[in-house]
C-alpha cells in the first residue's frame, strides 16, 4: 500500500480532526473573539469608546459635527508554533500492511499523538492570552525573543495599598474603586473577575467578607460551590489551570498575586490566527489558515513525522475594559 494514499495522513483529514479535540478546562480563549487573516502580521486598532453626550438641535438645524474616534494603529508579527513527533517504522508497517486490526492500531496511535500535540498548542495559546490580559506578552527563549505591549494605562495595572492576604484589608473598597475606573474609562461596566484559589481564600478569610458570609446569598454560594461566585456586583471565576514549565514546575496561568477584572460586554480583543505554507508532497505546498496538521514520511531512519501548529496572537482593542491588579503587595 502506498503511504501517500492513506487517508489519515492527508493534511485535510488531520486538520479537520483537530476540531474534535476539546479543552473545556481552558477559559481564557473563550473571552476573545476569533479571527483569521492571511499572512503572519496582525494589524489592529486601539481606541477608547466615546462617552460624551451629543448636542440637541433645533428642528431643521444641521447635524452636530463630531470628531472621528481617536485610534492608535498597532502591528505585530504573529507568534508561530510548530510542533512535531516522530512515529517509528512500526507505525509505517502497520499502515502499509493493509490488515484491519494493525491499521486501526496505527490510526489510534497517530490520533493519540496528534491530540497531544494539539493540547500543547492550546496550552501555549492559553498562556499567551493570560499574559495579554495583564498588559504585555514577552517571550525570552534562547532562539526566540519578542515582546508585545498592549498599552494598558498604569491605573489599569494597580497594586492594592494593603495586601489582600491580611484579613482586615478593605477588599470591597479596592473592588469598588477598580469597577468605577473601568466604567469611567471605557463606558462599559465591569462584569467578571478571574483569580486563582489562593486569592479566593484571601477573600473568604477577609473580616468584612466573613461578616457578609452570614447572609443567605453568600452563605449559599459557598455551601454550593466552595467559593464566592457573585460578589460586589461581579461574577467571580476561580481558575486554577496552568502549565508545566521547562524545569518541570507547575505554574498557574493566573498567579497567586493577581486578579483580572474585565467588562465582558466590551469587544475588547481578539485571538488572531494567520496562514502557513505546509508541504503537500515532494513537489508542492498548500496554504492553510488557522490551526493546521500534516505528516511527512522520513527515510533515514524510517518513520512518520506528525506536525501540528498555528501562527497566532492575542490583540487588545480596548485596554481600558481590562484591569490587572496585584493584590498581595
pLDDT of residue 329: 79
Residue 310 lies inside a defined structural domain of this protein: yes
Residue 64 lies inside a defined structural domain of this protein: no
CB 304 within 8 A of CB 313: no
What is the C-alpha separation between 98 and 89, in angstroms, rounded?
Answer: 15
pLDDT of residue 142: 86
Quick one: which of 75, 71, 54 has its CA closest to 63? 54
pLDDT of residue 87: 82
Q: 68-88, pLDDT tens digit by residue?
A: 888 899 999 999 999 999 887
Give mean pLDDT, residues 9-35: 91
For 54, the grid coordinates are 451629543
CATH number at residue 203: 3.90.1690.10
Give mean pLDDT, residues 166-179: 96
What is the C-alpha separation between 320 and 326, in angstroms, rounded?
Answer: 17
Quick one: which of 188, 207, 315, 186 has its CA closest to 263? 188
Mean predicted lDDT score pLDDT of the chain: 89
Residue 93 Ramachandran class (φ > 0 left, ψ -120 to 50 alpha, else beta): alpha
Tell me phi and psi for residue 150, to 5 degrees.
-95, 15
Number of domains into which the chain is organized: 1
Q: Is the pLDDT of residue 4 over 60?
A: no
Q: Which of 32-41, 42-51, 100-109 has the highest mean pLDDT?
A: 32-41
What is the C-alpha separation between 140 and 40, in angstroms, rounded?
Answer: 20
pLDDT of residue 1: 43
Q: 222-256, pLDDT tens digit by residue?
A: 777 888 889 999 999 999 999 999 899 999 999 99
Higher-confidence residue: 4 or 53?
53
Number of helices (H), then strands (E), in the chain: 7, 18
Residue 68 lies inside a defined structural domain of this protein: no
pLDDT of residue 308: 96
* Range list of β-strands (E), the chain: 33-36, 41-47, 71-77, 79-87, 136-140, 145-149, 192-195, 230-231, 234-238, 242-244, 250-252, 258-262, 269-273, 275-279, 285-289, 292-299, 302-316, 322-326
pTM: 0.89
What is the C-alpha separation between 203 and 281, in angstroms, rounded?
Answer: 57
Give mean pLDDT, residues 185-207: 95
Residue 202 lies inside a defined structural domain of this protein: yes
Residue 207 lies inside a defined structural domain of this protein: yes
Q: Is the pLDDT of residue 217 over 80?
A: no
What is the span of the domain harbouring residue 136?
3-47+74-326
Give mean pLDDT, residues 106-127: 92
Higher-confidence residue: 170 or 284?
170
Residue 55 lies inside a defined structural domain of this protein: no
Q: Is the pLDDT of residue 106 over 80?
A: no
What is the C-alpha separation between 23 and 29, in angstroms, rounded?
Answer: 10
Residue 200 lies inside a defined structural domain of this protein: yes
- Please give the share of the chain, as a percent, with pLDDT higher than 70: 91
What is the C-alpha separation between 82 and 307, in angstroms, rounded?
Answer: 7
What is the C-alpha separation between 315 and 295, in angstroms, rounded?
Answer: 31
Quick one: which of 195, 182, 327 has its CA closest to 264? 182
For 187, the grid coordinates are 463606558
pLDDT of residue 83: 97
Q: Is the pLDDT of residue 263 over 90?
A: yes
Amino acid at each position: 500500500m502506498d503511504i501517500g494514499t492513506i487517508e489519515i495522513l492527508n493534511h485535510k483529514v488531520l486538520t479537520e480532526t483537530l476540531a474534535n479535540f476539546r479543552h473545556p478546562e481552558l477559559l481564557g480563549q473563550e473571552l476573545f473573539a476569533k479571527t483569521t487573516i492571511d499572512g503572519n502580521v496582525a494589524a489592529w486598532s486601539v481606541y477608547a469608546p466615546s462617552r460624551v453626550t451629543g448636542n440637541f438641535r433645533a428642528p431643521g438645524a444641521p447635524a452636530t459635527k463630531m470628531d472621528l474616534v481617536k485610534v492608535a494603529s498597532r502591528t505585530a508579527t504573529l507568534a508561530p508554533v510548530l510542533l512535531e513527533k516522530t512515529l517509528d517504522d512500526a507505525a509505517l508497517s502497520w499502515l502499509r500492511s493493509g490488515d484491519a486490526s494493525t491499521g486501526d492500531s496505527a490510526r489510534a496511535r497517530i490520533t493519540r499523538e496528534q491530540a497531544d500535540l494539539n493540547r500543547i498548542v492550546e496550552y501555549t495559546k492559553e498562556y499567551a492570552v493570560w499574559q495579554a490580559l495583564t498588559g504585555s506578552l514577552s517571550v525570552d527563549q534562547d532562539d526566540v525573543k519578542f515582546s508585545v505591549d498592549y498599552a494598558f494605562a498604569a491605573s489599569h495595572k494597580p497594586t492594592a495599598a494593603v495586601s489582600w492576604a491580611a484579613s482586615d484589608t478593605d477588599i470591597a473598597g479596592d473592588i469598588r474603586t477598580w469597577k468605577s475606573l473601568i466604567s469611567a474609562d471605557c463606558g462599559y461596566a465591569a462584569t467578571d473577575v478571574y483569580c486563582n484559589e489562593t486569592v479566593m481564600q484571601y477573600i473568604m478569610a477577609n473580616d468584612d467578607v466573613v461578616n457578609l458570609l452570614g447572609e443567605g446569598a453568600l452563605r449559599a454560594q459557598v455551601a454550593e460551590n466552595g467559593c464566592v461566585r457573585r460578589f460586589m456586583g461581579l461574577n467571580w471565576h476561580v481558575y486554577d489551570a496552568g502549565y508545566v514549565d521547562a524545569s518541570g514546575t507547575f505554574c498557574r496561568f493566573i498567579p497567586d498575586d493577581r486578579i483580572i477584572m474585565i467588562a465582558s460586554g466590551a469587544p475588547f480583543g481578539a485571538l488572531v490566527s494567520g496562514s502557513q505554507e505546509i508541504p503537500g508532497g515532494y513537489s508542492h505546498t498548500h496554504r492553510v489558515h488557522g490551526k493546521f496538521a500534516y505528516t511527512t514520511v522520513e527515510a533515514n531512519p524510517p518513520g512518520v513525522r506528525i506536525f501540528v501548529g498555528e501562527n497566532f496572537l492575542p490583540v487588545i482593542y480596548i485596554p481600558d475594559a481590562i484591569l490587572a491588579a496585584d493584590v498581595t503587595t
